[in-house]
């Protein structure tokens, strides 16, 4: 027996959080009865339906890496009509969901999966998986990597865990930094840079945990190998 949220997520219907909303709205039934939060069901014996339609059997687990270009929002749909990452992975054969977020003006490595349990684990704040960014900045350049590494609060007073920053390239008026964080606060790296007097011109995620972006072209995706999925699952 599994919780309904897990069943809905495994069937590719929605995330576990969205599943809770569907259950609370009375849109899920089990064997003809309206479900409640906390209910469990068995795929093989129970008739689970959304808005009267039977759920499809769980899809094969898929985990993808996408090189998200700038200009795409990290959602499956957008009420403002902006391009979404779902359009870039529409040919993967199953409905997958982004793990975490990467803002519209940023680019780089984004994980997507239909494995609700894995997505929930990787995105949960307690997981603290490292994310490394390559950031092109201007402004108060001298000593900026040290200031970023020493930063403990954002502009609104929100505490942040220690980050690691290093200078990769120095050009007149612009430097390229490596910034590694474990949290996933909204626009965290951009906000950190602003606090220490830097303007961000380009922000690219190049690593997430054990996975690196490599030479995957912008706008393209590839399936994770079994070894890569195992490495993600083994993250503390």
Euclidean distance between CA atoms 119 and 95, whole angstroms: 13
Q: Which residues are catalytic?
A: 103
Euclidean distance between CA atoms 214 and 191, whole angstroms: 26
Phi, psi at 217, each rounded to 5°? -70, 150
Split at pLDDT 50, 70, 90, the class of 59 is: low
Residue-wise pLDDT for 88-121, tens only, equals 999 998 888 899 889 999 999 999 998 877 887 7
Residue-wise pLDDT for 120-137, tens only, equals 778 776 677 899 999 999
Split at pLDDT 50, 70, 90, the class of 58 is: low
Regarding whether 204 and 88 lie in a shared domain, the answer is no
Total structural domains within the chain = 3
Phi, psi at 93, each rounded to 5°? 100, -15
Regarding whether 219 and 177 lie in a shared domain, the answer is no
The fraction of the chain above a pLDDT of 90, given in percent, is 66
Instruction: State the CATH number of the domain containing residue 142.
Output: 3.30.70.1560
- Among 35, 54, 73, residue at a domain's last position: 54
pLDDT of residue 126: 67
Regarding whether 221 and 119 lie in a shared domain, the answer is yes
- Dig out the tokens for 189 from the structure: 């790296």
* Owning domain of residue 119: 63-126+215-233
Q: What is the pTM of this model?
A: 0.77
The phi-psi region of residue 209 (left if phi > 0; otherwise alpha if psi is between -120 and 50; otherwise beta) is left
Contact at 8 Å (CB) between 220 and 175?
no
Regarding whether 108 and 91 lie in a shared domain, the answer is yes
Regarding whether 175 and 222 lie in a shared domain, the answer is no
Residue-wise pLDDT for 198-226, tens only, equals 999 999 999 999 999 999 999 999 999 99
pLDDT of residue 54: 86
In order, the DSSP letters of 55-111 are PPPPPPP-EEEEEEPTT-BSSS--TT---BHHHHTGGGSS--EESS---TT-EEEEE
């Amino acid at each position: 027996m599994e919780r309904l949220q897990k069943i809905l997520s495994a069937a590719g219907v929605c995330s576990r959080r969205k599943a809770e909303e569907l259950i609370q709205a009375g849109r899920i039934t089990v064997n003809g009865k309206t479900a409640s939060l906390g209910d469990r069901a068995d795929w093989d014996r129970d008739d689970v339906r959304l808005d009267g339609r039977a759920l499809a059997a769980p899809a094969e687990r898929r985990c993808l890496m996408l090189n998200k270009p700038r200009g795409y929002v990290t959602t499956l749909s957008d009420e403002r009509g902006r391009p979404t990452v779902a359009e870039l992975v529409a040919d993967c054969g199953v409905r997958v969901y982004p793990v975490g977020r990467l803002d519209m003006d940023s680019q780089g490595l984004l994980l997507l999966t239909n494995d609700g349990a894995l997505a929930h684990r990787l995105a949960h704040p307690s997981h603290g998986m490292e994310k490394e960014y390559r950031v092109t900045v201007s402004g108060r350049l001298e000593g900026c990597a040290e200031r970023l590494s020493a930063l403990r609060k954002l502009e609104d007073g929100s505490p942040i865990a220690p980050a690691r920053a290093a200078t990769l390239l120095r050009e007149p008026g612009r430097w390229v930094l490596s910034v590694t964080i474990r949290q996933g606060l909204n626009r965290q790296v951009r906000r950190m840079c602003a606090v220490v007097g830097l303007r961000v011109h380009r922000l690219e995620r190049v690593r997430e945990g054990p996975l690196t972006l490599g030479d995957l072209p912008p706008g393209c995706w590839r399936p994770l190998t079994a070894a890569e999925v195992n490495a993600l699952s083994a993250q503390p």
